[in-house]
Amino acid sequence: MSMLYFLIQQTMFFSIPLLIVALGGMFSERSGVINIALEGIMIMGAFSGILFISSYQEALPGQPVLILAVLIAAAAGVLISLTHAYASINMKANQVISGTAINMFAAAFAIYVARMIRTVQQIPFVNQFRIGEVPVMSKIPVIGPMFFQNTYLTTYLGFLILIASALVLYKTRFGLRLRACGEHPQAADSVGINVYKMRYAGVMISGALAGIGGLVFVIPTSTNFNATVSGYGFLALAVLIFGQWRPGRILGSAFFFGFMKAVASSYSGIAVLQDLPIPSNVYKMVPYLSTLIILAFTSRKSMAPKAAGIPYDKGSR
Amino acid sequence: MERIKKAFLKDSSVNVLSSFLAVAVGLIVGFVILLISNPSQAAGGFGAILRGGFADMRSMGQVLYIATPIIMTGLSVGFAARTGLFNIGASGQFIMGAYAAILVGVKCSAFLPGITLCIAAMIAAMIAGAVWGSISGMLKAYCNVNEVIACIMMNYIGMYLVNFLIVHTVFDSLRNQSMSVPGNANLPKLGLDLIFRDGNSASSANGGIFVAVIMAVVIYIILEKTTFGFELKACGFNRDAAKYAGINEHRSIVYSMAIAGALAGLGGALLYLAGAGNRIDVVDVLAPEGFNGIPVALLGLNNPIGIIFSGFLIAYLTIGGFNMQLYDFAPQVIEIIIAIIIYFSAFALLLKNYIELWRMRGHRKPAAPEAEEAAT
């Protein structure tokens, strides 16, 4: 049983960043802008957040530093995503191009700035954010050890963002308008919705969430930031497509993938799996392989936003 | 007919002009970054970037060497883009090809004499890459899996598979790398190492660059001069229209991805058979050459001939970055410059619209509808 608890705690570390970033990607793509820059935005968010933590971790106690770092990561994400919004909305550029440019820029920028101000590219930080036990809640049988022990504030932030995203997307006027811009911007414009504004909002929300996701990814898994988020931005893109651009299904696919990843990375601690004559590289392959197989059987009907990737031109109405 | 030709020529000159503008903006921003981080050394550092590959003969050779694999992955991404597919899986195809080349190089050296070993290794690499690419293509064509997600997953699967296979077939356990291939598996130097050298240190230039350029020309001919290429492009423009015109659109997607995979796979062979002592490290990191193909393709406007030049440009700047370290700058400034060049090259459409508008005023002639699709 303790093995199961450990696996679930591990799953959180992999799933929550994927969930947050994929939800970010959802806002952008549902508004009609493909955001392949998620990886780069994650790096920018993680970089600025970790830089803040490493400078202020002595001056401030753990959790407040984390909360401030999350806000800074979100701000950095919004800032860099504005360049993507400008290129793909105002300039009507190919959205893959500016996304690629941001991915390339972010990694280089994080290394360059770190080396210029610290001479080495790694930024170390003290992980003082782990919550051993949440008072009261951790005493609940089964659920307690699963969700309220060995956890991080960011895990709950992830669920909060999920609920907020679903509400915003489906229960508010803003969400309806955003979705309309991703499906049929001409129709949205004809009833007086400002398509440019909505798309800017979508891209900026995705920037904020991807920035947070980058920080959330780095904190539990490492004690220094090395200008990379190990391709998690691209994986989040995959989770977004796997989740068919819908919050509930994104949650499902993020946790499916995260659980597979947790099993693959900690299989040596599981007696049953350890005894099987399967090499470690095969275990590492399993999350990707199983996702692909599931997709092969379930992708018949894709529910991608119809106007995603197409710049909106008022003249073409 | 003549008039259409003229308009096309003008369009391509607009493309070239916008690319040059993007490069200029990128370099200016790069200079500003150098100025901010260290004003006293900025001029020297920027000079090193500009001199780049022309610093000496050895640097010129290194430009050829660095350009080779990224031209191949650039061709892979560019070719797929011309047929309406976003091949983000060049990384996996690249490493599969690299592994196949090393496997053939090590295991077949007993019975393949001289240059045939090298040729066999390259063919094996193309086949391995093609198989890897076509899996993504089949998933897209027959199961409707988005090719982006299929390619991302195939990247990781390929990386772990190659790590697994290396350990079981061509493993050098001391270095935790693949074994090195025998000498005759390497690409012939063709005397390039004698031309491009600085005193006693020879560059890593080799015959691979000719293979890359020839492949670019072959791809250009396939895309522009053959019915097969036209069918592939037609599927990219409009899948339904292509189907209506009697083109088997499923098969075309698989062919496109197979060719793109073969190009990336050959890129893997050209890097690891370069005779520069490259071996595949058994680590859990995706091959960066695959992702580097995306900017090369974008900068070359997905045109095979353009990709040759953009590959050279990026290699040239990369060498400039190496030389710039003398002035105490981190070489990442080059990647920032390249990123900015790519970003501004995305504005080509805007520039084109202005020129179109200006031309329309002059001739009172409606704008050509091709202007929009050429930019995508």
Contact criterion met (CB < 8 Å) for A288 and B153: yes
Q: For the residues A263-280, what does the mean pLDDT come to?
A: 76
Which pLDDT tens digit goes with each residue over A52-77? 999 888 887 778 889 999 999 999 99
Compute the Cα dihedral for A161, A164, A170, A174 and give only its sign. Answer: negative
Q: Does the pLDDT of residue B180 top 60, yes or no?
A: yes
Supply the pLDDT for residue B370. 47
Which pLDDT tens digit goes with each residue over B209-230? 999 999 999 999 999 999 999 9
Cα–Cα distance for residue pair B117/A139, rounded to 1 Å: 67
Question: Secondary structure of B104-120 in the HEC alphabet?
Answer: HHHHCCCCCCCHHHHHH
Cα–Cα distance for residue pair B352/A171, rounded to 1 Å: 42
Q: What is the CATH number of the domain that holds A241?
A: 1.10.3470
Supply the pLDDT for residue B374. 44
Residue B159 DSSP SS3: helix
DSSP tag of B88: T
Distance of CA B196 to CAs A73, A311, B66, B204, Å? 47, 47, 14, 9
Cα–Cα distance for residue pair B189/A200, rounded to 1 Å: 53
| C-beta of residue B1 within 8 angstroms of C-beta of residue B330 | no
Helices marked H in B83-207:
90-107, 115-143, 147-169, 192-195
ipTM for the complex? 0.88
Beta-bridge partners for B172: B177
Interchain CB contact of A86 with B (< 8 Å) = no
Interchain CB contact of A316 with B (< 8 Å) = no
Q: For the residues A258-270, what does the mean pLDDT come to?
A: 83
Residues on chain A touching B143 (C-beta within 8 angstroms): 295-297, 299-300
Q: For the residues B132-141, what does the mean pLDDT come to?
A: 95
Q: Does the pLDDT of residue B278 top 80, yes or no?
A: yes
What's the pLDDT band for B138 if we cut at 50, 70, 90?
A: very high
What's the pLDDT band for B375 if we cut at 50, 70, 90?
A: very low
Which pLDDT tens digit goes with each residue over A131-174? 877 777 777 777 777 778 778 888 999 999 999 999 999 999 99
Range of the domain at A256: 2-316
Contact criterion met (CB < 8 Å) for B346 and A237: no
Contact criterion met (CB < 8 Å) for B145 and A93: no
Compute the Cα dihedral for B207, B213, B217, B218 and give only its sign. Answer: positive
| C-beta of residue A36 within 8 angstroms of C-beta of residue A99 | yes
Residues on chain B touching A102 (C-beta within 8 angstroms): 339, 343
* Chain B residue at shortest CA distance from A302: B144
Contact criterion met (CB < 8 Å) for B286 and A288: no
Quickly tell me which residue has 């508004």 as its tokens.
A31
Q: For the residues B65-78, what does the mean pLDDT come to?
A: 95
**How many CB atoms neighbour CB B122 within 10 A?**
25
Supply the pLDDT for residue B362. 65
- Nearest CA of chain A to the CA of B177: how many Å? 15
Q: Does the pLDDT of residue B92 top 90, yes or no?
A: yes
Quickly tell me which residue has 């407040």 as its tokens.
A64
Give the DSSP H or E segment for B178: strand B177-178
Q: Domain residues of chain B, as ranges?
A: 63-308
B177-178 and B171-172 as β-strands: parallel, antiparallel, unpaired? antiparallel
Quickly tell me which residue has 């650039």 as its tokens.
B74
Q: Does the pLDDT of residue B376 top 50, yes or no?
A: no
Contacts of A106 (CB under 8 A, 6+ apart): A39, A40, A41, A43, A44, A47, A80
Beta-bridge partners for A123: A225
Contacts of B154 (CB under 8 A, 6+ apart): A288, A292, B89, B92, B93, B132, B135, B136
Give the DSSP H or E segment for A132: strand A131-133
Contact criterion met (CB < 8 Å) for B330 and A111: yes
Residue B202 DSSP SS3: strand
Contact criterion met (CB < 8 Å) for A101 and B342: yes
Fill in the amino acid letter for B210.
F
Which pLDDT tens digit goes with each residue over B194-211? 788 877 777 888 899 999
How many structural domains is chain A composed of?
1
Interchain CB contact of A118 with B (< 8 Å) = no
Cα–Cα distance for residue pair B72/B121, rounded to 1 Å: 16
What's the pLDDT band for B373 if we cut at 50, 70, 90?
A: very low
Q: For the residues A265-282, what does the mean pLDDT come to?
A: 76
Q: For the residues A214-226, what does the mean pLDDT come to?
A: 89
Q: For the residues A281-297, what does the mean pLDDT come to?
A: 87
Residues on chain A touching B375 (C-beta within 8 angstroms): 94
Beta-bridge partners for B197: B202
Question: Quick one: what percent of chain B has pLDDT higher than 90?
Answer: 45
Half-sphere exposure of A135 (CA within 13 A, CB side): 0
* Chain A residue at shortest CA distance from B293: A100
Cβ-Cβ pairs closer than 8 A, A with B, add up to 141
Distance of CA B1 to CAs B12, B13, B41, B368, Å? 17, 19, 55, 14
Question: Quick one: what percent of chain B has pLDDT higher than 70?
Answer: 92
Structure-derived torsion over alpha carbons of residues B153, B159, B162, B164, reported in degrees to the nearest 10: -90
Residues on chain A touching B144 (C-beta within 8 angstroms): 299-302
Which pLDDT tens digit goes with each residue over B358-372? 777 766 544 444 444
CATH code of the domain made up of B63-308:
1.10.3470
Crossing angle of the two packed helices B249-272 and B115-143, in degrees rounded to 10: 150
- Mean predicted lDDT score pLDDT of chain A: 88
| C-beta of residue B190 within 8 angstroms of C-beta of residue B205 | no
Supply the pLDDT for residue A240. 93
Supply the pLDDT for residue B155. 94
- From the centroid of its chain, how far is CA A213? 4
Which has the closest alpha carbon to B298: B67, B66, B15, B14? B15
- Nearest CA of chain B to the CA of A285: how many Å? 5
- Nearest CA of chain B to the CA of A211: how many Å? 19
- Mean predicted lDDT score pLDDT of chain B: 86
Q: Does the pLDDT of residue B103 top 60, yes or no?
A: yes
Among A118-127, A287-296, B144-153, which stretch is predicted with the lowest mean pLDDT?
Answer: A118-127
